[in-house]
Structure 1
Amino acid sequence: MTKPGGKDQALVREARLVAVVIAVTAVLWLGAQWLIEPGNRIMALFDLAALAAFFWALVVTWRIWRRQQRPKGN
């Protein structure tokens, strides 16, 4: 197996960051659902923060995928 180059390592680091953000966001959001009673106004903040984190992860994942589609020379 060959060692990945600098650009490949950057993509791997970015993909790991996305995975961590998704996992931590899901755990925190589920924990907030369990701890805070439904209908509480603060729950809306947790919902919006989770949506923002998931949207960020989606955008970064799309960027990683697009970079993988480029020819190797670019």
Structure 2
Amino acid sequence: MARQPTAAQAAFARQMRVVALVIAGTTLLWLVLGEIGRQYGWEARYAFLIDLAALAAYVWALINAWQLWRKRRDT
């Protein structure tokens, strides 16, 4: 019989899924917006803005994944 995860384990798994979705969603959105920008001839400043937004999302995900890794390591 399989054990049910505790509330803390379920919360940890949920937080890691959010981090994974942010990484995957950011990558997909970054690629799509970059291609749309090339097709429609957007100015370089818009591409730069998209790149900065993607970088911010990646940094957020990295910080949160690191914090979750530390929390799991310390328990």
TM-score tier, shorter chain, comes to 0.7 to 0.9
Code of the residue aligned with 1:53 in structure 2: it is A
Shift of 1:40: 1.9
Runs of 4+ that moved beyond 6 A: none
TM-score (norm 1): 0.87
Partner of 2:23: 22
State the aligned residue count.
Answer: 71
TM-score (norm 2): 0.86
Mark the runs of 5 or more structure 2 residues left unpaired by the alignment.
none
Code of the residue aligned with 1:20 in structure 2: it is L
Partner of 2:74: 70
- The Cα RMSD (Å) is 1.4
Mark the runs of 5 or more structure 1 residues left unpaired by the alignment.
none
Partner of 2:44: 40
Code of the residue aligned with 2:32 in structure 1: it is G
Code of the residue aligned with 1:12 in structure 2: it is A
What percent identity do the matched residue pairs reach?
A: 39
Residue 57 of structure 1: which of 36, 52, 61 is its match? 61
Partner of 2:11: 10
Shift of 1:39: 5.5
Shift of 1:33: 1.4
Point out the structure with the larger helix share: 2
Shift of 1:61: 0.4
